[in-house]
Amino acid sequence: MRSATVFRSSELARLVGVSPDTLRLYERKGLLHSPARAANGYRRYSRESVDRIRLIRSALTIGFTLAELEPILTLRDAGGAPCRRVRELAEKKLRNLELRIEELSQLRRRIRKVLARWDRSLKATPRNHRAGLLQSLAASGPGPVCKLPPYVMAALTKEAGR
């Protein structure tokens, strides 16, 4: 890395642990100021860009989206104080997370009941005969639908496929 406080895309990306494509995405979304350009056209990021990207990455880890961050950072850059809005959004994220945890807990209880019922059915079914496990689900009704985010369903599906 250079000793100056100016970084090329690849240097900055490596320093903050993202890809150069991520830097360009942040620029397009208005989260990261467009950097100065060198004579050869390369982007030249300032030391402040490091702090800005770390701020963005930290906010993403607690559930903020890029779309939510854009107006917050724009207001902040204009000298505004978006702190109350940031807190409101974080509180909303916590409420949504608590609701999802409850939905997952309900789903876990339902699956445990289904597995117990299936275990009884399998115990009473001779080997190489169908126990009709999936049919028993249909016969008992769908039960409450657990509205999980797509990434949770994908993770559950992936885990089940192992």
> Which residues lie closer than 8 Å to 69 by C-beta, 6 or more apart?
31, 56, 59, 60
What is the predicted pLDDT for the residue at 36?
86
Q: How many helices (H) and strands (E) does the chain have?
A: 7, 2
Q: Residue 43: enclosing H or E segment and its boundaries?
A: strand 43-44
Structure confidence at residue 160 as a pLDDT band (50, 70, 90): low
What is the predicted pLDDT for the residue at 58?
97
What is the predicted pLDDT for the residue at 145?
55
CB atoms within 10 A of CB 99: 11
In DSSP terms, 44 is beta-bridged to 36
Structure confidence at residue 154 as a pLDDT band (50, 70, 90): low
Q: What is the percentage of the chain residues whose pLDDT exceeds 70?
A: 84
pLDDT in tens, 95-140: 999 999 999 999 999 999 999 999 999 999 999 999 899 988 888 7
d(CA 2, CA 111): 56
Token output for 42: 């390369």
Q: Which domains does the chain have, with CATH numbers?
A: 9-81 (1.10.1660.10), 90-160 (no CATH)
Residue with tokens 């289904």: 114
